[in-house]
Amino acid sequence: MTQPAEDDRAAADLLRLTCEEAIHFLAGLSDRPVNNDSAPPARIALPARGVGFRAALASFRDIYGSSLTGSVGPRYFGFVTGGTTIAALAGDWLTSTFDQNAADLTSRAAAHIEASAVAMLRELLRLPDTFSGRFVTGATTSNMVGLAIARQWWGRQLGVDVSERGAHGLPALTVLSGSPHSCIYKALSILGVGRAALRRVATERGRESVDVAALRDALAARGGQPCVVVANAGVVNTADFDDIAAIAALQSQFPFFLHVDAAFGGFAACSPTCRPLLEGWEQADSIAIDAHKWLNVPYDSAIQLTRHPTLQAEVFQNVGAAYLGAPNTDDALHLTPENSRRLRALPAWMTLIAYGEAGHRAIVESSCQCASLLGERIADSSVFRLLAPVRMNIVVFTLSSPDPTADDVASFLTRLRDSGQTYLTQTTYGSVQAIRAAFSNWRTTPQDVERAWRAMLESVR
Ligand SMILES: *Cc1c(COP(=O)(O)O)cnc(C)c1O
């Protein structure tokens, strides 16, 4: 039987061993299959007596070592999957090592690191410091927090503090959006607003960006009732962007809270060519941005930004009742869904200090170049058909056969995954069964795109 104290006496050796395990994983990353369908092993029963960490690590390697996928590697183009820079990875290790409770007000360092990482991100993304920001676990939670602030704003417009008395008796809250991410529905469900509150507004012809004239009509039809608009800055399918400046301009005529889902699209701000896509986003009331995608920090990490910290504190303040005091807008404890939380900002702080603005701009630009390289290969080929112009970091295309079925696409993707070389996701574009490739990993090079392309050609029947 091993007790924690015994392992602690061997801590230096055991942690070096762990480090070697990590180095070994990273060294083999480029050749690790992107996909692994092998059945999970039978569950191990809780040992009555522990075996100690050295043996636990060996068991882990035996059981799971070969089934970990190379999703953090350079040819995983599914969903929008970020990589991990070395500085971010090391920052994450240290977050666990220090194990600070970032909600603990006796540790000012944690709050300072978070504020400093948020300030650097604002600079990187060229947002004014009228936005306050907090780290949360992902864009889903970040969108949920933004919509919780929106709900509080909406209640205030109707003369009700929803954080105190709930939304009982109020008219239904309406949320308007062109191409919302699925997590917006989830957030509305969690918040008790309900999925049905989301009204899809028409998109521009052949695009996923909202038709601003249709949005204007939908707002006008509300007869002055306040509502929420979710603008999309980077739709996952085609990286299309709403015209945020035009949407924000509507706020002078209609009362609505503008939330921007910029999970990956916010990083367009890093690149002078892509930056205009975000024009007007500084007028948003709240913004969701993922860090575990294009910032290349490990899961799970995102930032929630808002210009309404008081409304945010009304929702999240950790006191029995509001009359106990004015809401505290300084401490994360009163601003995020969690109370105790990890020092999630440290990986972001490390990577921003280590590589700076130029380093992170280079990651964004190289992702875009890899996307356009794949787009060119597809446009020039006779076996695939590009479905939309390559926007930023996403390529959406299909098989060149006249009307590929979902099964055709699925079986191509299965063959491709089984090659272990690259992972792409299935989607639909309009009514067409489609495939998409998204680039957001710093490790991906043009050589990786060529290697993925060869595998794609070999997987076509
Ligand atoms: C990825 C993504 C989300 C959800 O983010 P998670 O990090 O998976 O919670 C929401 N919106 C957009 C546009 C995304 O790309």
- If one residue of 142, 198, 236 were mutated to test the ligand 1 pocket, choosing by the most ligand atoms within 8 A of its CB, it would be 236
The matching CATH number, chosen from 3.40.640.10, 3.40.630.30, 2.170.8.10, 3.40.50.12280, for 100-351 is 3.40.640.10
- If one residue of 77, 140, 287 were mutated to test the ligand 1 pocket, choosing by the most ligand atoms within 8 A of its CB, it would be 140
Q: Are strands 227-232 and 175-177 parallel, antiparallel or unpaired?
A: parallel
Strand partners, 76: 423
The pLDDT value recorded for residue 209 is 98
Tokens, residue 104: 């603990």
Cβ < 6 Å from ligand 1: which residues? 80, 138-140, 181, 183, 234, 236, 261, 263-264, 290, 302
Q: Residue 407 contacts by C-beta under 8 Å, 6 or more apart in sequence?
A: none
Ligand 1 mean position to 167 CA, how many Å?
27
Tokens, residue 408: 């055709």
**Residue pLDDT, tens place only, 420-461:** 999 999 999 989 999 999 999 999 999 999 999 999 999 998
**DSSP code of 275?**
G
Distance (Å, rounded) from C-alpha 286 to C-alpha 130? 11
Q: What is the reported pTM?
A: 0.97
Task: List the chain domain ranges.
Answer: 4-70, 100-351
Phi, psi of 120 (to 5 degrees): -65, -40
Which H or E run contains 231? strand 227-232
The pLDDT value recorded for residue 35 is 85
Per-block mean pLDDT, blocks of 10 residues, the chain (461 long)? 92 98 96 84 90 96 90 96 98 96 82 96 98 98 98 98 95 98 98 98 96 98 98 96 98 98 98 97 98 98 98 92 71 92 97 98 98 98 96 97 94 95 95 97 98 97 82
The pLDDT value recorded for residue 132 is 97
Distance (Å, rounded) from C-alpha 420 to C-alpha 402? 28
Q: Residue 313 contacts by C-beta under 8 Å, 6 or more apart in sequence?
A: 327, 328, 329, 334, 335
The pLDDT value recorded for residue 324 is 57
Ligand 1 closest atom vs CA 232: 13
